[in-house]
Structure 1
Amino acid sequence: MEIFKELIAIWGAGLSTLLALIKIWELWSSRRRIEVSYNFVGLPEIGNDIIIRNLSDKPMTVTYWELLFCEKKAFKWVPYRNENPADGTSDIYIAGHSSIKLNFSGPKYFAWGHKALGGKRLYLNLYIAGKRKPVKKLVYEG
């Protein structure tokens, strides 16, 4: 009878461990994943595009964003210029497994490349509904 109780305890411990691992895997695979890429063009009338991709299956809302031009000062990347959305811009909804483009044409156009940025970096801060801190993504390394 003692062996039977030990076998049931071992079986219960193994089963609960397996179920905990499955739950951790589900949480890990359904986490919010964001990718940022770019499509830069040399013509101000066409403009530069920054593409935000939602790689997870959950939709997300970007409440605010900042495009930061950063330079290195004493082991830290410090912004020296930034671009923000136009006044009155509302939340940006990104469905699961989809993307949006932010276009910078006309007066919002910026030069890019090694000559223009000269070792500086371009970051995008995304303020997402439900998160306290912004998500900072490297867009371009000049």
Structure 2
Amino acid sequence: MRDLSLANHLALIGCTMETGSRHHLNELTRITYQAFCLWEAGYGDVTSEVFRHAEAVLDRAVARAEKTGVWRLEESESPPLKEVLCMHDRQIAVVSTRVFLEAKMALGRLLQIDHVISPIQRRLGRAADGYTEPDGRSSTVRAHD
């Protein structure tokens, strides 16, 4: 799992360099969604806002890249993604292989669907309408039981 963590953090570093690429941003998006799937399964110690902020940063970076051709994050945009990556490190340190692979397969199925709404938007997009966390609490920290 240490190799996975290193690869994840290198994707973020790659995105903040002048030579950032579409691949790096896609990897950060995949990591964010993978972490979200594990969070929904009860592994993770952040609030839903962390995922919302990370996804918003990625969305802005992609929109900007589609206009400019420059696939990178501004240094000031990286804190929400760093938080997701650090939390994902904690997730993969404790999650069983079975749960990890189930979350990975579920994400793979979602990514195969054309015009899919992001898992984060689908689950959290209604926050202003009284959305609660998957365990029934509102705006609380998720932790593995």
TM above 0.5: no
Normalised by the size of structure 2, how large is the TM-score? 0.27
Greater relative contact order, per chain length (Cα 8 Å cut-off, separation 6+) = 2
Normalised by the size of structure 1, how large is the TM-score? 0.27
Which has the larger Rg? 1
Structure with bigger helix share is 2
Structure with bigger strand share is 1
